[in-house]
């Protein structure tokens, strides 16, 4: 796969990711939820830290996390460039492109959204607000896709440990960038052997054979 093809994948994913986030940010109030289907909802939340709401404590925790993400994206970018240069398998290049696009999409939120938007707590956020909710590198990641296949189900009392408690199956809320990262990682896991297969070595046997025959024919003609 050529570099321009990988760049096209990354560009398209970034456009879809940022469009969906900006749309949700400017049309939903924080915590607002809309049912698309009984098992699929649009639920606007903002993630201040890492996956599953984990945060790095301290005044500089968010800054450390954002800088770490930027460094990680730099490493992934080099991995992608090196894989294309070495003509690695397309499964690997597509997977890296997806992971890179997803990581970069969430970094855009972390770096810029705190400065470009005001908060969404009690009103719709506005772009380029005079009262931004944060500063550079302190933005929050916008999440919106929610698939509670089983929601608020009361387990029977006879179930050990969790009996009598309500559960929700698959309560993660995520965005397009998260889907891209998960898909890329999934490709690396499921198609591991193909993704990391060594590129085929081009043989010069046929070319050498053709050259030998050509020289023999030329010598015969000269005789």
- Could you confirm whether 178 is annotated as catalytic? yes
The distance from CA 188 to its chain's CA centroid, rounded to whole angstroms, is 14
Cα distance between residue 196 and residue 98, in whole Å: 16
Query: Residue 149: helix, strand or coil by DSSP?
Result: coil
**What secondary structure, in 3-state letters, does 23-57 show?**
HHHHHCCCCCEEEEECCEEEEEEEECCCHHHCCCC
Cα distance between residue 133 and residue 177, in whole Å: 22
Catalytic residue among 82, 118, 143, 212: 143
Query: Residue 13: helix, strand or coil by DSSP?
Result: helix
Catalytic residue among 17, 109, 118, 178: 178
Cα distance between residue 11 and residue 17, in whole Å: 10
For the annotated catalytic residues, the residue numbers are 143, 178
């Amino acid at each position: 796969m050529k570099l321009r093809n990988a760049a096209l994948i990354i560009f398209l994913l970034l456009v879809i990711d940022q469009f969906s986030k900006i749309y949700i940010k400017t049309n939903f109030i924080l915590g607002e939820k809309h049912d698309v289907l009984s098992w699929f909802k649009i639920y606007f939340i903002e993630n201040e830290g890492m996956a599953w709401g984990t945060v790095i404590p301290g005044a500089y925790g968010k800054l450390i996390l954002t800088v770490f993400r930027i460094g990680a994206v730099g490493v992934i970018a080099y991995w992608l460039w090196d894989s294309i240069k070495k003509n690695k398998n397309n499964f690997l290049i597509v997977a890296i492109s997806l992971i890179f696009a997803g990581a970069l999409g969430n970094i855009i939120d972390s770096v810029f959204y705190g400065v470009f938007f005001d908060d969404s707590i009690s009103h719709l956020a506005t772009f380029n607000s005079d009262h931004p909710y944060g500063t550079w590198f302190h933005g929050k990641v916008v999440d919106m896709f929610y698939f509670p296949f089983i929601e608020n189900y009361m387990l029977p009392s006879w179930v050990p440990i969790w009996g009598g408690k309500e559960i929700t199956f698959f309560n993660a809320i995520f965005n397009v960038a998260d889907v891209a990262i998960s898909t890329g990682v999934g490709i690396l896991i499921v198609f591991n052997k193909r993704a990391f297969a060594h590129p085929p070595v081009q043989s010069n046997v046929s070319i050498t054979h053709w050259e030998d025959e050509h020289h023999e024919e030329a010598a015969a003609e000269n005789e």
